[in-house]
Amino acid sequence: MRFRPVFTVAGFAVLIISVVMLIYSLYIRNAYEIFIFSAVLLIWMLLLLTGIFGKRRLAAMEIQWKPPFPLTANSEEKTLVTGISSKVPWFFRLHITIKGKFFPSGLPNESSPQKNRGCPMLAETSVAKKDSSAEINLRFPMSGVFRGRSIVYLRDIFGFFAFQCGDYQRRTLNVMGRPCEKKTFFIEPLSGAEDQRNKNAEDIERYYMREYAPGDRFRDINWKSSERIDTLITRISPDTHEKICQLEVCFRNYGPPSPSIKELWLLDRCKAGLAQFLRTLKEINDKYIFIVHFGTETRELPDKESLENFLEELAGLSFISHVQGFPLEGKGGLYIFSTACDLSLLSYLTACQQREVSLFFTQMSEDRKKNPELLFIRDFLKTGCIPLPRWVFRQKPKKLLNIYAEGSGQGKKLELNYAQVRL
């Protein structure tokens, strides 16, 4: 069995000092000091006995902590903790502690766990008496995976003891990156299936109007109504099946197995850009079906539920080594999301030269005029997370791809996003 001391550092110090001073006062026969340190030891013992009996009364307590969904980095939303007992002894208070490890680079790989070390993290709050629930500020500086447990401690008002009560609950949470700046994405409209049936005037009256959406046929645009209200209006027949558009997206999370904080921030911003791209287009046209390639997997996202499930899974993806054999066949546009850590991107773009490619590229920049998205290492400490020492003392990343220097943007639709890390 693992030994868990019930006294804190302060409680242990008070015990040692009081015993030593009591022995010394008995030796010099100082009645005043004997009374003072005897009273301190008596209070210490009374708090210990009270805490032991109080812990037994709270042994059956099972708390549940419910983080907000989706759990987003740098969010002000708090985690709700329920199932708290109100039977607390006098001079004691319940404290909720959530501690564990935060993995910005994803969960550790069993084959090489030393390369995916997590950051120790701690969040704590006290519970007011007669309350059966509490809120705890569980925040994260960037996307990743948090693996931790919740523990309830019974503590006295002097901070001498901390008795662990009830069973703790383990959770593994995917933390989504904070949203990036809102951008407008324009998708080239694809021609819908032509309907060759002849319609008379009565059939035309059955048409209804709605705002134009990418994928509608140009022949269905009502130009007179559009000119009148300065907005494109499309005629849609209730009997006509609209064409469902499929968009092929490639997320290239290729990079080093042991990334620096700068490389992790590049991946985080690339994930945020992909999430915004998918959500924005889904809002524009709910009929879009996304075919997403990442690593060696391919995922089809036909509805909003599958999209949100994928984005939660996306938060836990880390860098992987380059894998050959990625499918290059297909027609239509291809939307690629990559970072400067992807050194094989140029050869991939060359292989896709027969397709219409739109590249969303994230790279580092020290130029403030480009408005890079900032990550401050000190934000880890503010959220109760201890950054790894190598992030502070070895921030220089390995070789990064310069998309302009290689000239890979020629003939491609290119959108650059910039990131920067500061202390």
Residue 70: cis peptide before it, omega within 30 degrees of 0: yes
Q: What is the pLDDT of residue 113?
A: 43
Task: Provide the residue type at 164 as one letter.
Answer: Q
Q: What is the pLDDT of residues 174-185, one digit of tens each?
A: 999 888 876 666
Write out the two tokens for 231: 């907005």
pLDDT at 45 exceeding the cut of 80: yes
Given 3-state DSSP classes, what are the helix, strand and coil percentages for the chain, each rounded to the nearest 5?
A: 30, 30, 45
Query: 160 - beta bridge partners?
Result: none
Q: How confident is the model at residue 20 (pLDDT cuts 50, 70, 90)?
A: very high
d(CA 267, CA 391): 15
- Strands 289-294 and 297-301, bridge-based pairing: antiparallel
- pLDDT tens for 143-185 read 999 999 988 899 998 989 998 887 778 889 999 988 887 666 6
- Type and span of the H or E element at 90: none
Angle in degrees, CA 371, 375, 376, rounded to 5: 120
Topology given in CATH for the domain delimited by 59-175? Immunoglobulin-like (2.60.40)
Q: Give the other-Cβ count within 10 Å of 330's Cβ.
A: 13
How many other CB atoms are found less than 10 A from the CB of residue 93? 15
Question: Of the given ranges (96-110, 216-230, 299-313), which has the lowest mean pLDDT?
Answer: 216-230
What value does the mean pLDDT take over residues 73-77? 85
- Average pLDDT score over residue span 74-101: 86
- Domain definitions of the chain by residue range: 9-56, 59-175, 201-236, 246-422
Q: Is 42 strand, coil or helix?
A: helix
Distances (CA, A) of 150 to 46, 97, 153, 164, 256: 28, 6, 10, 11, 33
Q: How far apart are CA 100 and CA 110, in angstroms?
A: 18
84 pLDDT more than 60: yes
Instruction: Give 317-373 pLDDT, tens digit per residue.
Output: 888 887 655 555 666 788 999 999 888 888 888 888 778 888 899 988 887 777 888
Compute the distance between CA of residue 210 and CA of residue 189 in angstroms, rounded to an integer. Answer: 16
> pLDDT by residue (tens digit) across 405-414?
444 444 468 8
Please list the alpha-helical segments (H only) found in 316-417. Answer: 345-351, 378-382, 389-393
Spatial contact of 364 and 339, defined as CB atoms under 8 Å apart: no
Read off the pLDDT band of 40 (50, 70, 90).
very high
Q: Tell me which DSSP letter residue 113 carries.
A: G
Distance separating alpha carbons of residues 355 and 357, to the nearest angstrom: 6
pLDDT number for residue 320: 85
Phi/psi for 298 (5° steps) reads -135, 130
- pLDDT for res 396: 64
Q: CA 289, CA 65: separation in Å to the nearest integer?
A: 35
Sign of CA dihedral 300, 305, 307, 312: negative
**Cα radius of gyration rounded to whole Å, the chain:** 30
User: What's residue 386's pLDDT?
Assistant: 86
Question: Is this prediction's pTM over 0.85?
Answer: no
Residue-wise pLDDT for 368-394, tens only, equals 777 888 888 888 888 888 888 877 666
Residue 278 in this model has a pLDDT that exceeds 60:
yes
Rounded Cα gap, residues 112 and 423, in angstroms: 29
pLDDT in tens, 93-133: 889 999 999 998 777 655 444 455 788 999 998 888 878 88
